[in-house]
Amino acid sequence: MPALIEAIRTLPGVLDVHDLHVWMVGPGVVACSCHILVAEQSVREGQQVLRAVVQTVEHRFGITHTTVQIEVEGCEVNDMYCVASRAMRA
């Protein structure tokens, strides 16, 4: 687990990783879920970070099913509208 956390944390665009869970779904099928913290960015940039996380987890650790929740720096963990509200106030 420490190696997996470090591999994700050191990817470009990832500021932090937490709530990481890895479990076996069935024989030879391993799943992973985690939350990553990123800086405010475009959707396209966020998708590139997401793809890098999923590819790294699969290629380095053989985990073939990964779900990643992206959280934006400066927003409350459960506030998916904070970036939009900030933009509307500006």
Residue 73 has a pLDDT of 80
Of 46-55, 64-73, 74-83, where does mean pLDDT reach its minimum? 74-83
For the chain, the first-to-last Cα distance in angstroms comes to: 41
More confident residue, 62 or 76: 62
Residue 86 has a pLDDT of 45
DSSP 40: S
Residue 85 has a pLDDT of 45
Residue 21 structure tokens? 């869970």
User: The whole model's pTM is what?
Assistant: 0.78
Residue 15 and residue 58: Cα distance in Å, rounded?
20
Inform me whether the pLDDT recorded for 14 exceeds 70.
yes
More confident residue, 73 or 82: 73
Which residues make Cβ contacts (< 8 Å) with residue 72, sequence separation at least 6? 37, 38, 39, 40, 82, 83
